[in-house]
Structure 1
């Protein structure tokens, strides 16, 4: 289906900031299934447990709003490489979750496989050494050319977010995507070891200061990104980007 702007379809991307209200955590915990509660209880860190509950509770409420389905009744199954997928009567809607420290992002598409990733920029990490280990030559040169450690970390986080979003959309392993060049957003050129990547398109999306994020959809055609900020309870702030 093509809109008036000539773009085939849209993907919704929701920013989910960390939320510390006990009432909010109680509400979000109430919609998790038994397996999600077990995973939440397995965290030793109270911060990690809280962030898990916020992220997974947000996914359920966001998808519930999109589909008109009760949040607590949504069910998931894992694909061959562990990617959760909606099952039952909601099969077909594509959902993906990413979280990094205090920030999570959720992407929803009703038409195409989707992956989203958010990465914190970490200037203390040796971005050049990491790039030398994982990235193709042109991306290594891009990171080396940055003027300082903070800039190198920023470029590294942006590239890593694009690669993770791509691999998550495909449903494969991260090692499949690290060597695929993504130094510019848009249609992925592919690589000798992952010809599948040519069938995807990547878009950078807004993220809080100190983070970088990207979304990837299956298919070479363009799409709109509808970006929103999610909080509970209360209305979401929204907008759209390219």
Structure 2
């Protein structure tokens, strides 16, 4: 389903229900209009503009940094409505927690909404929840390993995960499972709000059931995971949300592709029971 929208307008949306995540993603190579990119830059705060345009990197990385900040502002603005009118994305203020995780400054807006962002060179995603913490990570499926997969796993992963990867004889399948685990683990440490330094990957294990669902071992109960294919199956996307207990209702993820102010497309609706 494609929804054409007028430039400078966004469609207001209700907050996700409990145990539901709305995932919005943008493909940088679909955004080619210089006038649109200029419009995006006008949404950013001055410190954000300074950060983007002073980056000592190539034009692609600068463009992606601009798109990432635009995606966050336009996504959060969709849910922060006033009399069913979208809040001006430029009015949003952000801060970071003690571990560096970005948050909306709730001195002005509704504290129920939480978000998280992740990006590769070819895809940028933002996840939104209400009342529960969220962490997301996206990875290109073609990502190459600079070193042997098992040597990396022994350095970063738990002994249980190393044992699991060691049991896979096919090197390509082993590489794919390594990336899946990395994506899921990254989503968890981001959802916890602590980041990699406070939650090293080798201090917890992600396991996969025979039914294909993922869960966290050796930590507090209640965390729920989903691993999705995005953008014609070119990327993995992992979502982790916090719940009160392991028996809480299943997780639901609604995915949209977007070019902010131009087009929104409902991709799919996944449910984990």
State if a TM-score over 0.5 links the two structures. Answer: yes
Aligned counterpart for 1:188 among listed residues 216, 224, 241: 216
> Which one of the candidate residues 27, 30, 54 is aligned to 1:42?
54
Structure 1 segments unaligned to the other structure (5+ residues): 1-6
Q: Which residue of 1 aligns with 2:184?
A: 162
TM alignment of 1:1-242, pairs within 5 A:
8-18=18-28, 19-43=31-55, 44-68=57-81, 69-87=87-105, 88-90=107-109, 91-121=111-141, 122-125=143-146, 126-175=148-197, 176-179=199-202, 180-184=204-208, 185-189=213-217, 191=218, 195-196=219-220, 198-208=221-231, 209-219=233-243, 220=246, 221=248, 222-232=250-260, 233-242=262-271
Question: Partners in 2 of 1:33 and 1:26 — Cα distance?
Answer: 14
Pick the structure with more helix per residue. Answer: 1
Number of corresponding residues: 231
TM-score (norm 1): 0.87
Look at both structures and tell me which one has the larger radius of gyration over its CA atoms. Answer: 2
Q: Deviations over 1:195-239 (max 9, x none)?
A: 45x341111123234422201111143321111111231132232
8 Å Cα contact 2:133/2:242 also seen in 1: yes
Flag the 1:186–1:144 CA change in 2: closer, same or farther, 3 A: closer
Q: CA deviation at 1:70?
A: 1.1
Q: What's the TM-score once normalised by structure 2's chain length?
A: 0.78
Does the aligned pair in 1 maintain the 2:18–2:130 contact within 8 Å? no
- State the distance in 2 between where 1:15 and 1:147 align: 34
Question: What's the RMSD between the two structures over aligned residues?
Answer: 1.9
Q: Relative contact order (alpha carbons < 8 A, sep ≥ 6): 1 or 2 greater?
A: 2
**Take 2:22 and 2:121, find their aligned partners in 1: how far apart are those partners?**
22
